Amino acid sequence: MSDRKKLPEQKQLKDESRRKFFAKSALLGAGVVAAPMSATMFASMAKAQAAEAGSNSATVHPGELDEYYGFWSGGHSGEVRILGIPSMRELMRIPVFNTDSATGWGLTNESKRIKGDSAHLQCGDSHHPHMSMTDGRYDGKYVFINDKANSRVARIRCDVMKTDKMLTVPNVQAIHGLRVQKVPYTKYVICNGEFEIPMNNDGKASMDDISTYRSLFNVINAETMEVAFQVMVDGNLDNTDADFDGKYFASTCYNSEMGVTLGDMISSERDHVVVFNLPRCEAAIKAGKFKTYNGNNVPVLDGRKGSALTAYIPVPKSPHGLNTSPNGDYFVANGKLSPTVSVISIKKLDDLFDNKIKPRDTIVAEPELGLGPLHTAFDNRGNAYTTLFIDSQIAKWSVEDAIKAYNGEKVNYIRQKLDVHYQPGHNHTSQGETRDADGKWLIALCKFSKDRFLPVGPLRAENDQLIDISGDEMKLVHDGPTFAEPHDCIIVHRSKVKPNKLWERNDPFFAETIAMAKADGVNVYADNKVVRDGKKVRVYMTSIAPSFGMTEFRVKLGDEVTVVITNLDQVEDVTHGFCMTNHGVQMEVAPQATASITFIADKPGVQWYYCNWFCHALHMEMRGRMLVEA
Ligand code: RUQ
Ligand code: CUA
């Protein structure tokens, strides 16, 4: 009873009436023959329960669509995930650096070609998903993502939501911070090489002389996905972002000491932000003022201290996140080991590069926010939201008031601090890294969930929390358990993304497979045919629910078999699969796709293949035999 007194009045009332409702139905059941529940009774009960569960701004009812796409990195699971916002429902997983059993990513010939020189690697550590932009706005074309584990960058085509390019960045180890050029369009993807290594890392020169170690900033052509150029810096690099003028990129640097032990890495009170001057870098490349290393031809510019290509702005201490305000005015460097963030005026960078002012003159505010500031996000009303890792809070603060306070005025720039659960790393606002920042939603990606969910063993879920920021106060509206480890996310309005419903015939994704078929005299959209080429056998098959175009084919023990399946169904969502039992072979074949997979027929006898994506009432019957002659 005393507990119930603590309930807010409104809730208590609801509780009371619900109790009465159940009491009545109990009476009904006891006295008379129990009448079956009618549909209206169910509906009204469901409604009462929804009210009880606290429908809020984040509630998306069954059958309703979300307003935003969320692109989530999958951390060391190596993938990218698509969530609906605000429901936080997981809609899709896009395998990128990982190997995926359901879709055959990493197993199919198409995915191996895209993975290229890293096709043999099965793992990755994806951190920062960012969408291509035109004029500072999401353009729905690509999402780029880094792999810290294997120094790669990949691109996802948003029309089909598949990875279509992957690049191992040379001369560096551990690609970490990644963003895109925002203006005039995403010509370049920018990313940081985090770990410092000798420039010619061939094990021949001394590896003991740490003073020869370098870290590189990487500028990648977004269309060709080749490295345009790299810039050598002092210190190592962490996170990065671009301005809204198409002129400057900035990266945080921790370990300006260039130490190799923890103690050495955090010894100085200040590290720095490196600003890269894009027009000057492009001019230097044109003028041939670069060197190459490690036997590749990627041009490397020298942007160490004193170079005209870069500026070093000292900031306290081991800064981490670097975030551009959506009005294009500021770079914000998040202190991590300092309770402050540093606000750098982008407007002052021209003067800095012309040597008219000193590096620290570009700092216009240094608000103290709390312990462990890691990343900052923005709304469209001049507020910033900074994660405090150690405090387990989000600090909401006014950028302009922080500037006033830095200039000596007595103002309180902190608007609110909200507890989150627990230890947030990244946060992101709806469209907050673009000109379309709309100040509706904030996601806090919490690294620990502790007591928020049922315990599931020593390894726990993380907790992605959704916060309504549309009003004056931040309101926590949803707890979302997630598997290792959504590092970062972006929130894109659904009007920006237009995915295809079917594959288009002859899509470049399958170009090489279709070309191979043509060379074999096969039209993949019509033919079912086996082509033998020495010990190699190519099996071309169509599929329409619920059958494969071929119910048997014959090979010899030890043959290398390539199965090519084209799904002729034109029906949305009717995906077939191909699985050869006992051979470690399976893949997705979505409508109008042509997918292929190669394996050795190393078991004699009858080997069944089947469709492993549920497609039809007769899905179980969708199978055939590979007859392997000993
Ligand atoms: S970093 S928790 Cu890989 Cu984005 Cu900051
Ligand atoms: Cu086709 Cu299941």
* Residues pairing with 337 in the sheet: none
- Cβ-proximal residues to 243 (8 Å cutoff; 6+ apart), any chain: 182, 183, 249, 250, 324, 328, 331, 346
Q: Is the pLDDT reported for residue 561 higher than 90?
A: yes
Sorting pLDDT into bands at 50, 70 and 90, what band is 29?
very low
Distance CA 361, CA 342 (A): 12
Ligand 1 centre to CA of 176 (Å) is 8
Nearest CA to ligand 1 atom 3: 127
- β-bridge pairing 373-378 and 383-388: antiparallel
CB 258 within 8 A of CB 210: yes
- Considering the chain, what is the average pLDDT of its residues? 92
Residue 41 pLDDT = 52
Residue 6 pLDDT = 40
Entry pTM: 0.91
Residue 239 pLDDT = 98
Ligand 2, residue 576: give the atom nearest the CA: 1
425 lines ligand 1 (CB under 6 A): yes
179 lines ligand 1 (CB under 6 A): no
Q: Is the pLDDT reported for residue 3 higher than 70?
A: no
238 lines ligand 1 (CB under 6 A): no
The more confident residue out of 3 and 366 is 366
320 lines ligand 1 (CB under 6 A): yes
Mutate to test the pocket of ligand 1, among 374, 386, 446, 462 (most ligand atoms within 8 A of CB): 374
Mutate to test the pocket of ligand 1, among 178, 253, 320, 323 (most ligand atoms within 8 A of CB): 320
545 lines ligand 2 (CB under 6 A): yes
Ligand 2 centre to CA of 594 (Å) is 15
128 lines ligand 1 (CB under 6 A): yes
Ligand nearest to the CA of 237: 1
Ligand 2, residue 616: give the atom nearest the CA: 2
Ligand 2, residue 614: give the atom nearest the CA: 2
The more confident residue out of 28 and 204 is 204
DSSP letters spanning 177-229: EEEE--SSB--EEEEEEEE-EESS-SSSS-SS-GGGEEEEEEEEETTT--EEE
Sorting pLDDT into bands at 50, 70 and 90, what band is 44?
low
Sheet holding 585-589: strands in order across? 552-556, 623-629, 605-610, 576-580, 585-589
Please report, in range form, the residues annotated as the binding site.
127-128, 176, 254, 257, 265, 271, 318, 320, 375, 426, 447, 462, 487, 576, 611, 613, 615, 619, 622
Element (H, E) at 419: strand 414-419
Ligand nearest to the CA of 619: 2
Ligand 2, residue 546: give the atom nearest the CA: 1
Ligand 2 centre to CA of 611 (Å) is 4
- pLDDT tens for 263-287 read 877 877 889 999 999 999 999 999 9
623 lines ligand 2 (CB under 6 A): no
Ligand 1, residue 488: give the atom nearest the CA: 4
Ligand nearest to the CA of 489: 1
614 lines ligand 2 (CB under 6 A): yes
Mean pLDDT across the stretch 296-309? 97
Ligand nearest to the CA of 75: 1
Sheet holding 424-429: strands in order across? 424-429, 441-446, 462-468, 475-482
Residue 360 pLDDT = 97
- Using H for helix, E for strand and C for coil, what is the string for 559-597? CEEEEEEEECCCCCCCCEEEEECCCCEEEEECCCCEEEE
Q: Is the pLDDT reported for residue 37 higher than 70?
A: no
Distance CA 150, CA 158 (A): 24
Ligand nearest to the CA of 444: 1
Lowest mean pLDDT among 324-333, 397-406, 479-488: 479-488
Residue 540, CA distances (Å) to 67, 535, 594, 596 in order: 41, 16, 10, 9
313 lines ligand 1 (CB under 6 A): no
Sorting pLDDT into bands at 50, 70 and 90, what band is 567?
very high
Ligand 1, residue 426: give the atom nearest the CA: 2
538 lines ligand 1 (CB under 6 A): no
Mean pLDDT across the stretch 599-626? 97
Please report, in range form, the residues annotated as the binding site for Cu cation.
127-128, 176, 320, 375, 426, 487, 576, 611, 613, 615, 619, 622
Q: Is the pLDDT reported for residue 523 higher than 60?
A: yes
The more confident residue out of 64 and 24 is 64
- pLDDT tens for 311-358 read 999 999 889 999 999 999 999 999 988 999 999 999 999 999 999 999
Q: Is the pLDDT reported for residue 437 higher than 60?
A: yes
Crossing angle of helices 39-53 and 9-31, in 10° steps, is 150
374 lines ligand 1 (CB under 6 A): yes
